[in-house]
Structure 1
Amino acid sequence: MPPFLNTLIRRLARPSVYVYVTVLLMVLGWIVGQSVSERAGMTQLSAMTLERLELYSNTLDAELARHADLPGLLATDPQVQALVQSPQDIKLRAQISRTLARINVRAGAMQIFIAAPDGQVLASSDGAQSTQSPPPPRLREALNAGRPHFFAADERAASLAYYLLHPLQSEGGAAATLVVKVSLAPLEATWVDLGLRSEGERLLVVDAQGVVIMSSVPRWRYFLLGRGSGAARDSERAALRASGRYPADAGFEDMGIPAEALESPGDMPLVRMPPLEAIQKAGPVLMPQERPLVPLGLRLIALSDPSGVRRQARYAGWGGAAFGAFAGVLGLYLASRRRALRQLSQAQAQLQQAHAQLERLVDARTAQLRSTNEELKHQIGQRVKAEDELVQAGKLAVLGQMSAGISHEVNQPLTAMRALARNGLLLLEAGRHATVAENLTAIDAMVERLGLITRQLKTFARKAEQQEGAPVTLLTSIENALLLVGHRLREDVVTLKLDVPPALRVLCDGNRLEQVLVNLFGNAIDAMHGEPQRLLTVGAAASDDGRVRVVVDDTGRGMSENLLPRLFEPFFTTKPAGEGLGLGLVISSKIIHDFGGTLHAQRNNGGGMRFEFDLPALQDSSDV
């Protein structure tokens, strides 16, 4: 061996050299461990924030969609339609205001009101005082632009309000707009509470003008998203104050989040935020990430606190330094004993096993989160189907109430057919073929009757699809409905008076029309139960305006005047518990409204109730 090589080996074997190597390995371990851990932690923090952004956006969408159908349902109310035709009727406006107040309490909205095209409030759930106050500043702008919804600051509640708009049409066009005002203060309060408890994440909702309209930090509300200064920024603030979208005292301070920080989410930039409280001099350093809410024209921004990641990175740095020290000492140890090599191999194998186990746990957690997300999507889809299922449930409830009578209707022909069949066998043995033929003819007639009943039940129970109106003979639909309730007419000895022209035809869905008629006939029979006079009158006539008006009268107990306004409320019924859900008239009113008509109810002069609705008439037989 050359002399210089021996000299080098002897120098490397000195303890002082191993001390220098150990220190160097500790520094490298600190740098590598801290940087790798910080980058991995930031990546994981970014992924978790994106998943939570999806959850927050779904929560916000669900909160706004909870009242989406309310304006359309209220627009079908007869009182609201009457106000559209007579907007200056003070008594009617007060009556509708009281009705809106009751509905507003049940729906959980902030306010419901009806506004004229010029923005004047005609009726409001807040009462007469609200109708005399000026309308929201952005309402006129939204009415002119035809927007279905908009956001605006509510200075009374010091929070954001979401407005849902539904136009109310009259014969001359748009006559008014029904507005449902929803407060987002409870959702924002939940975010504020979450931010106070976790102190690791802040939420912002930014509108199209770059203004923070919701925040888990109350002080950041109505800040501007980006950075800027000078005349252009002052002009932008002045334009925002003049827009009427925000409170008059909004400061529009700069948030300090540059646009490039949100345009490049993969870079995971850190931004110094404004102070959380006015007494603080500097705000926290956070990592911004956003998710656009395109249908609403908003952006949801999550600000994650990387301090936990940095703390873990420091721990990882100390671990890396310790690993470096361990490597240095291990080098000295390996020089003396070969056993250390085997121990190191075992330690590496255990480390790989732990890493694989950790990866499996992460994969399992990711799969669980995906399954939860799919379940949320499935629940949203189920809500969309709820209205159709409610209509079908009303049909099945009617069929259930009629099942006993229909069973009796079917059992009688079956008993007669069995007797005739047995009698036919005896007649065949006696050679009386003519009488056997008469029995077979009678059996055929009974089978035809059973087929008629079962076909009508099958048609009635079928789940109807939404479709355009088709020509329907009104008398045929009435007879089909009477076929289903015929046994009840006979059981209660109800006299039927039918005054419907045979050639009268209307444009609608025949199956859904029969559902309305069965509901009205069933209610009339229930109301006349036990009365001395039981007369059911069904009439129809065509009017000069191209409509057909159908009238159903009964001689039952009737209903008091104070209960008539609640007749078409969901789940309202005067029947005993277990005999009605209070959905029949609500569903019937919705079906008639879909046909372009209106279902009315009033007391008869001689007692009982009258239900009247109109349908579009078939003008010419060539349209079929």
Structure 2
Amino acid sequence: MALPFFPLRLRPRALRLARLLSRPGVHFFLTGLLMVLGFWLAHRLSERGGREQLSALSTERLELYATNLSAELGRHASLPSLLAIDPTLQALMSSPQDPERRRAAGQMLARVNVRAGTNQIFIADAQGRVVSASEPLTPPARLAEAVAQGRNHFFAADAETGSTDFYLLHPLRQAQQAAGVIVVRFNLAPLEATWVDLGLRSQNERILVADDQDVVIMSSVQAWKYAVLDHADPSRRRALQASARYPQAIGPDLELPASLEVHQGQQVRLPLPGSRPMLAQQRQLVPLGLRLVALSDLTEVRQRAQYAAWGGAAFGASVGLLTLYLSSRRRALRQLTKAQTELQQAHAQLEQLVDSRTTELRRTNDALKTQIAQRLQTEGELLQASKLAVLGQMSAGLSHEVNQPLTALRALARNSIRLLEGGRHDAVAANLQIMDDMVERMSQITRQLKSFARKADDQPAGSASLADCVRNAQVLLEHRSRALGVEADIAVPRGLRVRAEANRLEQVLVNLLGNALDAMEHEPVRRLSVQALPVDEGRRVLVKVRDSGQGVGEAELPRLFEPFFTTKPAGQGLGLGLVISAKIVHEFGGSLRAEPPPAGERGMSFEFDLAVETWEAVMEQADV
């Protein structure tokens, strides 16, 4: 991208500034700055607009409340002057002590009071004493003061209900002299009840009416009635209480400013529990000497300002990220152009390099062909050596596994010779049948060794009787156990069948039983036990083979299942029996483990688990 024109002395500064702005860290800083700026600006504008809107709405409502109050107070404003020209009242003022005239005036005032809808109408003399009234009453305490000062109205609190009463006064003259005053009282409780109802419906606006002493005489919140708008010290509170203008104790200080803006309003917070920031506006009712104050809750305005602020922050982030994207894209295009140029140069150099090395590669190719032929010959030799190693491993396993059947065959052959000498042909035939079975078993063992050397097939195991497999293994080792005097304890249910191949399971048992006999060969006490215990709610069986031999040390225990590791003396074992057995059990879906005996006991225990084909037999054994 071409740089704009700068003077020569300013061009380096512009370049440095462009490089600075192209850094990602600077872009992120500017994005954060735009977010903060957008947050602050949107919050300020939204709050200002919200306050102006709330102020305008509150001003309209304030005017409505002022008009309503003025209309309510002015509804009976002409009534006292009309009554002043009534002949009945004129006759009364000429003779105030005449009982008949008092009675006639009282009846007339009662009729007017009912028709006008006021609370009371009465005539008082210049000292504030009641001369005649629409009903028996006690004049308010402020009446004498108001008559003396020549007022035409005043507010006073009803001592019984605590509501605010408004009194209209009009002088009664006799011979151009003030002979008394006619007073009309009506109560403002209905109007105040309307304000209270509106305040309960809308919690965002409060209305207060304060008299010339800044004491709240009407309010949409009953708890604020007779509170002080500003701050009243103790002496002022005592003076207000002694004035008898208010029927109850003076309420808390609201601490509102003495002068409030009518249109813009002023933010205040009342010193009351749970108070929130509010916008205060007032309307002066000069003829009545009242202050009408409206308090509007700013919580909604602040919430909208918060939402707008977050929107402004999101907008600033969007602008910053868009700028970052455009800058990154421009930088990527510039790097792509530079990379294309460098690629073209590298391609030209590569072509030259390929041409120069083609000849060298041809010479190297001939040498590689010779090396490949030598390597193929070496690989063939290594493959042959690997085959010989596998064949040696199979031969070692075969010699280990066939040793025990050969011993049994030797013993049976010698026994058959003696039986022939004794003429016991039936016994010889039985021995020959056993020898034939052993030869078949040896062939099966060699086949199993071949299967062990190959990769295991995924064919499922069959079903075998665990008790028969244990009995066959005992037969193969019967001559050794009889010679050692081994005490055997076999606890295997007869009807238990497991998912395994019978011949390979017998191979595992022969290995475990043979190892147990080897371990007990030099022990004074020789006990061998085979147990079948139900596990997993009878779905599997745990086979335990335990002996009373010398056991295995802790250092040798982890190596028991390593190939060619044995604890027997040299020439008596190749260390493949447990490896082959573990492999077979694993193919049956179980695992072969070695468990040392409890502390204080001798021997060793080998156990493996198998899936049960008929689990009822295991449960019957468990019940026994």
| TM bracket (short chain) | 0.3 to 0.5
Larger Rg: 2
Query: Please, what TM-score do these two structures have when normalized by structure 2?
Result: 0.48
Query: Please, what TM-score do these two structures have when normalized by structure 1?
Result: 0.48
